[in-house]
Amino acid sequence: MLVAPSILSADFGHLARDVKAICDGGCDFVHVDVMDGHFVPNLTIGPVVVEAVAEAATKPLDVHLMVENNTFFVDLFAPQMPEFISFHIEEEKHPHRLIQKIRGLGIRPAIVLNPHSRPESVEYLLEDLDMVLLMSVNPGFGGQKFIPNVLQKAQRMKELIERRNPKCLIEVDGGVNDRNVHDLKAAGVDVVVAGSYVFKHENIRRAIESLKV
């Protein structure tokens, strides 16, 4: 399992310190939650802060957009050269065009599905995607309860991916901890995002290790 701690649960007064701690602690990606106060009822960070995160990080960034105007935000964050930029399928009229734009910028494109969205809604985009992110909470806040039916959804997504593009990764985001990570692994998930579990743990390195199942 690859592990992407979400800095949403970091101490923003000591953000560089916390980013270094997860990178030194063996994370695979640094998950960056961008919220615009419109698509979700919360407002987080912009390019100035992400630039500081990129500077402190020794692992690639995984930027998760929870915004209304995806194209505008892709242009805003592309200069920080994240490994992935993911956008929500629920908020994009022309997802195929946006995937091409992200790839054209030298960034790996990913799509996010809210809890209600069907795996089939992205079936015909899979061959152009490097990752699909399944939300296991409603986007907007850290520290929410894991929605278990994401396990069934991941299994279905895995079937579609195997048929269309076996190299595409499955990521799950929200309420992930050392108890549900085993079921996620069994369901075919490749990457987990974990915010509160990692940052509330007494030892960040051990928290990350416990998710590497």
Which residues are near ligand DX5 by CB under 6 A?
A: 6, 8-9, 31, 33, 64, 137, 139-140, 142-144, 173-176, 193-197
> Which among ligand DX5, Zn ion, none contacts residue 119 (Cβ within 5 to 8 A by kind)?
none
Q: What is the smallest separation between the CB atom of 66 and Zn ion, expressed in angstroms?
A: 7
Q: Residue 60 and residue 161: Cα distance in Å, rounded?
A: 24
Residue 142 interacts with which of ligand DX5, Zn ion, none, CB < 5 to 8 Å by class: ligand DX5
Q: Is 190 in the site for Zn ion (CB under 5 A)?
A: no
Which residue in 64, 101, 153, 158 binds Zn ion (CB under 5 A)? 64
Interface with Zn ion, residue 171, by CB under 5 A: no
CB 33 → Zn ion: shortest distance, Å? 4
- Catalytic residue list contains 173: yes
**One-letter amino acid of 197:** Y
Which burial class, exposed, middle or buried, applies to 171 when counting CB atoms under 10 A from its CB (0-12, 13-18, 19+)?
buried
Minimum distance between the CB of residue 196 and ligand DX5, rounded to whole angstroms? 3
| Token representation of residue 208 | 């990350």
Of residues 33, 128, 130, 190, which has the active-site annotation?
Answer: 33
Element (H, E) at 83: none
**Contacts (Cβ under 8 Å, ≥6 apart) of 51:** 79, 80
Residue 195 CB partners (closer than 8 Å, separation 6+): 5, 6, 7, 8, 9, 31, 33, 142, 143
Catalytic residue (one of 18, 62, 130, 173) = 173
**Distance of closest approach, residue 163 Cβ to Zn ion, in angstroms:** 27
Q: Are 113 and 132 in contact (CB under 8 A)?
A: yes
Which one, of 57, 47, 44, 48, lies nearest residue 16 by Cα?
Answer: 57
Q: Which is nearer to Zn ion, 108 or 164 (CB)?
A: 108
Q: Which residues in this chain contact Zn ion in the complex, by CB under 5 A?
A: 33, 64, 173
Q: Which residues are catalytic?
A: 33, 173
